[in-house]
Amino acid sequence: MTDRTDTPNQEPIPTPNFIGMLIECQEDALAVIADSNKAADVLRIELLGAKSSLSKLTRQIRLVPDADRAQVGTVVNDVKKSIIDAINKKGASKINDLRSSFDPTMPGIRPPEGHLHIVTQAIEEITRIFERISFIRVRHPEVDWDWYAFGALNMPANHPARDEWETFFLETRDKKQATRKMVLTPHTSNGQVREMEKKKLPIRMINIAKCYRRQIDVSHTPMFHQFEGLYIDRNVSIGHLKGVLDYFVKQFFGPERKARIRPFHFQFTEPSFEVDISCGVCNGAGCKLCKQGWLELGGAGMVHPAVLTNGGIDTTKYNGFAFGWGVERCFMMKAGTHLDDIRLLYSNDVRFLRQF
């Protein structure tokens, strides 16, 4: 577009010339609008703004003979209006183009979809399995008084058995401002006496919670989960315990798997057992993974009378069994998971998590 206003012109402009320049200005502007992809606002500033050729030309209207000024003014207005209309029309057709190219029936882009963490899935599965035999899922504190985690479980202060739990301790003050020890619970057994204190018998508890121990390697993370079963009623026998173990093993690991119990020692159960399950790879025959056909699952036993007494239960009428196993450990021993490092579960690598 040629700029007709580069040199300030003080000479009078004959009316036909001025109108000719206006028309030229209009033609240039309409050509720009037709060719351009610019937004309506940008075009408006470029073609009608203070710095546009049209505005500069309009400012020279005073050089047109006085008598013709009104007539020229109408032409200026008409030119402006035609430019505005052209810009508006272009804008509208752009929106129409967009509307006609938008197909609302086209499938959208699916946002990535997550799922529950595998440990949460395992916790839910374990909960459902025990619910079917009337065990109720409960929650007990994950940071608890030393008493519930050890003392009430027959492990008085400084008892060497505590070393096996490699615990994180906290020093806190109780209501009377006395210093007392709390622990990040190293097992879910703190739930045993807490559940007994509810004074509702019989007890069929499954307490699933986070546990903490000072250990990290392929089979340990400092934070992990355990599920603790507790059954207190009249005349409970080791046979009942074995029945529940077999039931759980078949439900969780598969009908071909078997459970066995071996004598062991815990301060809070008497007798105590270590529970094994038949290896899923060799089915009990013995292989590289299991050595002798069995894999260690966790501890169990008949609740020690001292623990029952600490929970306020009359040991002449009631007795029971308890067991406590690792959720992650169970998940890893499930056929088909092929997990050889427990830390993978908490690596938060979606490529790993997506597989489950």
Q: Which residues bind ligand PHE (CB under 6 A)?
A: 187, 189, 228, 266, 269, 298-301, 322-324
Q: How far apart are CA 26 and CA 54, in angstroms?
A: 8
- Closest contact distance (angstroms) between CB of 293 and ligand PHE is 23
Query: Which residue, chain included where needed, has tokens 């998940």?
Result: 331
- Closest contact distance (angstroms) between CB of 189 and ligand PHE is 4
Q: How many helices (H) and strands (E) does the chain have?
A: 11, 10
Q: Supply the Cα-derived Rg of the chain in whole angstroms.
A: 42
Q: Which of 133, 140, 313, 132 is nearest to 233 (CA)?
A: 313
Name the helix (H) or strand (E) containing 307: helix 305-310
Of 26 and 269, nearer to ligand PHE (C-beta) is: 269
Q: How far apart are CA 49 and CA 40, in angstroms?
A: 13
- Closest contact distance (angstroms) between CB of 284 and ligand PHE is 24
Of 271 and 286, nearer to ligand PHE (C-beta) is: 271
- Closest contact distance (angstroms) between CB of 153 and ligand PHE is 8
Q: How far apart are CA 252 and CA 248, in angstroms?
A: 6
- Closest contact distance (angstroms) between CB of 168 and ligand PHE is 15
Q: How far is CA 8 from the centre of its chain?
A: 70
Concatenated DSSP letters for 25-50? HHHHHHHHHHH----HHHHHHHHHST
Local structure of residue 291 (DSSP, 8 states): S
Residue-wise burial string across 139-155, b where 16 or more C-beta atoms lie within 10 A, e elsewhere: ebebebbbbbbbbbbbb
- Closest contact distance (angstroms) between CB of 300 and ligand PHE is 5
Q: How far is CA 148 from the centre of its chain?
A: 32
The amino acid sitting at 74 is: T
Of 130 and 323, nearer to ligand PHE (C-beta) is: 323
Of 80 and 194, nearer to ligand PHE (C-beta) is: 194
- Closest contact distance (angstroms) between CB of 201 and ligand PHE is 19
Of 18 and 231, nearer to ligand PHE (C-beta) is: 231
Of 48 and 119, nearer to ligand PHE (C-beta) is: 119
Of 298 and 311, nearer to ligand PHE (C-beta) is: 298
